[in-house]
Structure 1
Amino acid sequence: MKAARSIFALLLVLCLSLPALAAAPQWSIDPPHCQVIFTIKHVFAPVMGQFHKFDGKIFFSPEDLAASKVELTIQVDSIDTGVAARDKHLKTADFFDAARYPVIRFVSDSFTKQGKDHIVVKGRLTMKDVTRPEQIVFTYLGAKTNPMNPKQMVTGFQGEFSLDRLNYHVGSGKFYEQGVVGNKVKLYIHLELVRPK
């Protein structure tokens, strides 16, 4: 019995003396330095737009990708293609139906390193009444002390991926069949994140 207690005590001391695993810290989106941009074809010419309002919860450590996670929420009503009439049409039931489905949401399932500075984030994208698996390949740009605030750390990412808008019921396919609006959308996500040191 004494031997068992001694072994237990030794194991406890060893566990307490081990350095704690570094949990992935939480980062905040720095809105003036982040963008969610998209391009889609109109007949021949690509049209570019962006969503101005989005936020999220982001936990990230390059040393602990298993504990890293992200939940990004985009406000559909903030869509901006530079043409007010087109933006108004995109918000109707012909496309996003922003009154019924005001947000687009991405929730990660896993982070995986790919090559030297790429990270593949797999997760679930919800748009309108559809949730589908998607993956975004991000270029990790590094982390350092914020030059504008020495009490902060700053980190950066550039990501891109493509999707078929019809898979998410963004449009009935009528305009695609007419050759007016393409079905393939390319998205670019630029993130600059900050946290206290």
Structure 2
Amino acid sequence: MFKKATYITLAAFLFTAFAAFTTIDREATSWQVDKAHSTIKFTINHFFTPVTGTFDDVDATINFDPENLAESSLDVSIPIESVNTRNERRDNHLKSEDFFNTSEWPNMEFVSSSIEQTGENQFVARGELTIRDVTREFDLPFELLGVMDHPMQENTRVAGIVANAELMRNDFGVGVGDWAATAVVGNKVDIELQLELNASN
């Protein structure tokens, strides 16, 4: 009876230890965006010609492990004041009430609810995108370009991801009054995120 009780106690201990280990192991890696080596680019037509711009700032909480997508998540916030189309007058117009109205809604934000793998190093983050006062379901496909130890920063890993998506600006109310029309400023916006990420080992 004593041996049986001992075996039961030992088994319970091992099960508890294993459960604790797997819980710790399930935590996805926390990554920080290296803003100096990252770009957020958008393209939209002006009449017939594609015009490109960037957002030069980004705040993000990224927890990502391709082996642990259940615990992975993306929370990306872009300050619209950082818009840069290489034309100050146009930038100020984009920030005005005609378009983004940054005095009321200073940021656009994407928050994932799940991340799925769609191919080799190919993933899609499904969640909600909020621009101005409009929130819509949104899919953000992205590619993991690679992960390695940082050769110039001890105990640091570096990773790269590229995401491409498109949206319709009128779906989010970006462009009101005469600017809701799409003859001059197109409706479709192509978005590309090129993000370099760092994580501590």
- Give the number of aligned pairs: 197
Q: Which residue of 2 aligns with 1:11?
A: 12
Unaligned runs of 5+ in 1: none
Shift of 1:125: 0.6
1:181 and 2:181 are equivalent in the alignment: no
TM-score by length of 1: 0.93
Residue type matched to 1:137 in 2?
A: P
| Residue 33 (structure 1) shift | 0.8
SS state of the match for residue 32, structure 1? helix
1:167 pairs with 2:171: yes
> Percent sequence identity over matched residues?
36
Q: Report the Cα offset of residue 172 of structure 1.
A: 2.2
1:32, distance to aligned residue in structure 2 (A): 0.5
State the distance in 2 between where 1:169 and 1:176 align. Answer: 8
Task: Give the 3 Å change call, closer, same or farther, for CA 130–8 of structure 1 in structure 2.
Answer: farther
* 1:68 corresponds to: 72
Considering fraction of residues, name the structure with more helix.
2
When the two chains are superposed, the root-mean-square deviation of aligned CA atoms in Å is 1.9
Give the Cα separation in 1 of the matches to 2:121 and 2:189.
25
Which residue of structure 2 aligns with residue 148 of structure 1? Answer: 152
1:80 is the counterpart of 2:81: no
CA contact 2:169–2:175 (8 Å) conserved in 1 = yes
Residue 172 of structure 2 aligns with an amino acid whose one-letter code is Y
3-state SS of 1:82 partner: coil
Q: Which residue does 1:98 correspond to in 2?
A: 102
DSSP-derived class of the 1:181 partner: coil
Conserved 8 A contact 2:52-2:85: yes
Quote how far apart the aligned CAs of 1:70 are.
1.2
Gaps of 5+ in 2: none
Which residue in the other structure is 1:33 paired with? 37
Q: Which residue of 1 aligns with 2:114?
A: 110
TM-score, normalised with respect to structure 2: 0.91
Residues 71 and 107, structure 1, Cα contact 8 Å, conserved in 2: yes
Checking the alignment, whether the CA contact within 8 Å between 1:37 and 1:187 is kept in structure 2 is: yes
Deviation string 1:89-140 (CA, Å, 9 cap, x unpaired) is 1010100001111011111111100111101111111110001110111011
Corresponding letter in the other structure for 1:103: N
Alignment CA distance shift 1:17-1:93 (3 Å): closer
Q: More displaced, 167-176 or 178-187?
A: 167-176
CA distance, structure 1, for counterparts of residue 181 and residue 198 of structure 2: 44
- Match for 1:109: what amino acid? S
Which letter does structure 2 place at the counterpart of 1:11? A
Q: Of Structure 1 and Structure 2, which has the larger fraction of its residues in strand?
A: 1
| 1:166–1:173 contact (8 Å) kept in structure 2 | no
Q: Distance in 1 between matches of 2:128 and 2:191?
A: 15
